[in-house]
Amino acid sequence: MQNSYKRVDAHLSSLGYCTRSEAKKFLSKNMVCIDGVRVFDVREKAYHNDITVENEPLDAENLLILMNKPSGAVCSHNDVGVLIYSLLPQRYQNRNPKISTVGRLDADTTGAILLTDDGELNHKLTSPKSDVLKVYEATLVQPLRGDETEIFASGELMLHGEKKPLLPAKMEIINPTLVRLEICEGRYHQVKRMFGAVGNRVVALHRVSFGDFSVEDLKPSEYKVINFP
């Protein structure tokens, strides 16, 4: 865990409490303390862990958040419609560096999405070399025809426009139009394209888990802060 030493205004602005130019006013309006002693001078330096705001410790220096993404929210910083970031507290939205999603889910896909301001961690989790297991529940427009489990498991399925076949994926049939699919890649619209390749269409897609992180205990739009690794 980081515990950086810098000016109070730098701490407050990078964590989204206020901008650097608002810091003086913030200190006069809020009880900001270093080691329990109230500060009024924005230039005072301190370790992150020694600062409190209104008797609460500062937000963590690096954030990792698990959200149950609702349908309609967009995983982008600049798009039309409801941006997923707008579902987070304003302070998190103001952070610098910014919080970004770890990979993306389509606007109509629901479920597990991680968000972090740690670029290195984000890169690690989204790199093609990372083999994070993602579990999806896909609802299909028409009943399975019967050979899908074998095709997905084969490691030979080639998606349109791609040069490499997909890695083997495990499919469990819940009922003829509902499946649970485990994949460890994250290609563009992968699940929808997989079912497209076998003559079907996904009408609802929910990501149950991303690696160890499951949204089974989170309602749509709910999130929780994960203790940083």
Asked about 131 being catalytic, the answer comes back as no
Which position among 106, 147, 212, 217 bears the catalytic label?
A: 106
C-beta separation of 187 from 162 below 8 A: yes
Distance CA 163, CA 174 (A): 31
Assess 95 for contact with ligand URA (CB under 6 A): no
Of 220, 157, 153, 158, nearest to 181 (Cα)?
153
CB of 43 or CB of 189, closer to ligand URA: 189
Exactly one of 48, 95, 192, 206 binds ligand URA (CB under 6 A); which one? 192
β 109-116/202-210 pair status: parallel
CB of 65 or CB of 113, closer to ligand URA: 113
Size of the site for ligand URA (CB under 6 A): 8
- What's the closest the beta carbon of residue 181 comes to ligand URA, in angstroms? 9
Pull the structure tokens for residue 136: 């999806």
From the number of C-beta atoms within 10 Å of its C-beta (0-12, 13-18, 19+), residue 187 rates as middle
Exactly one of 109, 110, 116, 122 binds ligand URA (CB under 6 A); which one? 109
C-beta separation of 85 from 99 below 8 A: yes
Exactly one of 190, 204, 208, 226 binds ligand URA (CB under 6 A); which one? 190
Exactly one of 27, 42, 205, 215 binds ligand URA (CB under 6 A); which one? 205
Which residues belong to the active site? 106
